[in-house]
Structure 1
Amino acid sequence: MPLILRRPLFVEDIKAIWTYVAADNEATANRLLHELEERYRLLSERPQLGSRRFSRYPAMRLFPFRRYLIIYQPLDTGDGIELVRLLHTAGDYRKFFDE
C-alpha cells in the first residue's frame, strides 16, 4: 500500500474542518473524514490525478473534493503522497503558495 504522509498544517486543517462540521453534526463530520481518507488512498495510488497549479512548487498538485481542495505532492520515491493542506474552496488557496 502506498504511503500517505501528513504535514503539520494539513493536520491542523483537518482538525479545524472536523470541529466546524461537528458543531452541527458529529456523525456528518466523521463521514466527511472517512470520505476524505478514501480520496487520499486514491491519490496515493494515482498521484498524478491532481492538477498542477503552483508555479513556485511544480511538484505540488491540487485535487478538489466537495467544497475542499486537497493540496498534496507525490513522494520523490514514487510510493505515495504527502498531504500539504486541506483548504475550503471559498478561500484563495494561491495566497498560501504563490507570491
Structure 2
Amino acid sequence: MNRFKISRQADRDLEDMWVYLAQNDSIAADLFLAKVIDKFPMLAQFPEMGRSRKELSEELRSFPVKPYIIFYKKMENHIEIVRILHQSRDIENQF
C-alpha cells in the first residue's frame, strides 16, 4: 500500500495552517507544508507507524510533525488523511 487520499477537511486544515504560518513568513510556511505533505507517502507505505487513536475514533491513527499532528485511517487500498491539527487544539472535540 502506498496510496493516500486527503479528505476535504484535511485539505482545509492544510490551507489554514499555511495561511496562519505565512502571516510571519511565507517561505517558512511553504517549507513546513511540504514537510507535512512529505509524510503522507511514508504513512501510506507504513500505516502502522502512527499511534492508534481508538479513543477518538475506531481505526484512527496519528503521526506527529511538531507542532502539528496528522490523523489518518488505514483503508483497504490506501490511507485517508482525515485531519491535520495543531497539538495545542482540543483534539477530542475535532472528531
Relative to the length of structure 2, the TM-score reads 0.91
Q: Is the 8 A contact 1:49 1:63 kept in 2?
A: yes
- Give the superposed CA RMSD: 1.4
Among candidates 67, 87, 94, match of residue 89 of structure 1: 87
Give the match for residue 72 of structure 1.
72
Q: Which runs of 5+ in 1 are unaligned?
A: none
1:69 is matched by which residue type in structure 2? I
Q: CA deviation at 1:54?
A: 2.7
For 1:6 and 1:38, locate their aligned partners in 2 and report how far apart those are by CA, in whole Å: 13
Runs of 4+ residues over 4 Å off in structure 1: none
Give the share of equivalent positions with the same residue, in percent.
26
Give the match for residue 41 of structure 1.
41
Q: Give the number of equivalent residue pairs.
A: 95
Q: Which runs of 5+ in 2 are unaligned?
A: none
For 2:22 and 2:56, locate their aligned partners in 1 and report how far apart those are by CA, in whole Å: 35
For 2:55 and 2:20, locate their aligned partners in 1 and report how far apart those are by CA, in whole Å: 31
